[in-house]
Structure 1
Amino acid sequence: MHSKIELIDMSKKNPGEPGIEIIESPEALAGQINKAEVFFLKNRKVVLGIGGAILVAIVGFAGYRFYIDGQEGTAQNALASVVYDFEADSLQKALNGAGGNEGLLSIADNYKGTDASNLASFYAGVALLKQGKYDDAISRLQSFSSSDLLIHARAQSLIGDAYLEKNQPAEAISYYQKAADYEKNEYFTPVYLMKLALAQEKANQPADAVASYKRVVDEFPLSSEVVNAKKYMGLLEGQVGK
């Protein structure tokens, strides 16, 4: 019986097309196999080393995921306990833990790579901001990441709040801008734009502030921020001669 390779019509071969001979010619295929064997024998240590490295990487990643999955349950349970303190505004207990429970800072630091650790960083940032520990709050909030359109923008806005409290309006502007431009929505974007305009006023950028207030008026006419946006925009327009 002829092999499948031998039955292929040789007239279909395109001269100079790479790889075709390996498909259509058993002799060419045998030659390529021989070349591969020679290459392997000459470079055995390198080939085995690369293969071993790939295997180690695969096994290592699988082990890491197994470890993280195991940590996730523990971290989630710890976070569930401490969130009650956070919501009750017992900020110190929430941050440092109490009664044998881990606090937000411990969860964030000890379970890195888990979703619970990531969320603990967000909660910790909010708590630290409320305590007036602005640099610590910024650090925690910057380490937080989320694909959730509301929470991500909220984190950016909170970092802006911390910088504004530190009287660093230029830095605050950067984060308020990120919050306002990220997945715009009618509920929170007008709030971020109002904060942005305030920071721009503090940074002595009245024309930019007018533009931010105008965005609220034009893009979110039904928002509760429109009344103040119109009022502040009118005051600033007199200053910039508009």
Structure 2
Amino acid sequence: MATYKKRGYKPARKKEETQVQDEHSATAEVFNTLDEGAGKTEEWVIKNQKYILGGIGVVVFAVLAFLGYQQFILKPKEAEASNEMFFAQQYFDAAVNSTAKDSLYNLALNGAAGKYGLLDIIDNYGGTKAANLAHYSAGMAYLNIQKYQEAINYLEQFESEDPILGALAKGNIGDAFVQLNQPEDAMEFYEKAIAHSDNSFTTPKFLYKAGTLAMQTGNNQEAVSYFERIKNEYPDSEEARTIDIFIGKAKTLQ
């Protein structure tokens, strides 16, 4: 049976119009929801603007205070501390190459002729690079005049990522603990010195000290492992020159 379309009949068009109306309705609903949310946010902001502005003010003040501290306090303080450190370090350097070590190390620590010593720099210029370095020099001065606990106290406060200086600070704490007859603490810091950086100067030095301490405490197998690391990994180091003797000795004592 034949079918025909009635004149003017457009059902698809009506369906599309209905769909468009639905979409407009859904879109309008979304925008109404957004408007309501925005209105609530605006109300909240108005209601709490005093606290918001106060919080922004605190942040701005903190940033400006930090920048002001950096520019007008810390920089001049750093320069002044560096100048003071110059004189204290001169006494320290002189002590290293002198027979009158104790007196010169004491001058480095306590100052002389109206100039600050290392301890004064630490007390008066805290937070500066000079004060941090003064912790290291003070620790080494105390280590050399055989005040081992004081050496530990100052060296532990020294902070450095430098591969040589950072390792030396940790290793020298180990030396101080050896002198205090605290081998477990000494070994802990020798391990820290070894782990701090891998270089041909400090690493074999503290591997050797760790191996020697291990032998002294009867841990001969552990000593062999330290000594063999020197032989295999740092064959050109000063410690490697006689390391076969120590390996043989440690193996004999196992």
Query: What band does the TM-score fall into relative to the shorter chain?
Result: 0.7 to 0.9
For 1:88, the aligned partner's letter is: A
Moved more, 108-117 or 95-104: 108-117
Moved more, 75-84 or 224-233: 224-233
Q: Does 1:73 align with 2:79?
A: yes
2:44 to 31, 39, 43: 39
Identity, % of aligned pairs? 35
- Displacement, 1:26? 8.8
Q: Does 1:100 align with 2:124?
A: no
For 2:139, the aligned partner's letter is: G
2:220 to 201, 206, 209: 206
Which aligned pairs between 1:1-242 and structure 2 lie closer than 5 A?
Answer: 33-66=38-71, 67-89=73-95, 90-240=104-254
Moved more, 165-174 or 59-68: 59-68
- Displacement, 1:179? 1.1
For 1:82, the aligned partner's letter is: A
Does the 8 A contact of 1:200 with 1:206 survive in 2? yes
Q: From the superposition, tell whether residues 36 and 203 of structure 1 become closer, same or farther in structure 2 (CA, over 3 Å).
A: farther
- Displacement, 1:160? 0.7
Residues 3-30 of structure 1: CA distance to partner in whole angstroms, max 9, x if unpaired? xxxxxxxxxxxxxxxxxx9xxx998876
Does the 8 A contact of 1:170 with 1:199 survive in 2? no
More helix by share: 2
TM-score using structure 2 length: 0.79
- Displacement, 1:47? 1.9
Does the 8 A contact of 1:170 with 1:203 survive in 2? no
Residues 179-199 of structure 1: CA distance to partner in whole angstroms, max 9, x if unpaired? 112221122211111011122
Aligned length: 217
| Greater C-alpha Rg | 2
| C-alpha RMSD over aligned residues | 2.1
- Displacement, 1:35? 3.5
Does the 8 A contact of 1:96 with 1:102 survive in 2? yes
Gaps of 5+ in 1: 1-20
- Displacement, 1:79? 0.4
Moved more, 89-98 or 54-63: 54-63
CA distance in 2: counterparts of 1:152 and 1:74, whole angstroms: 25
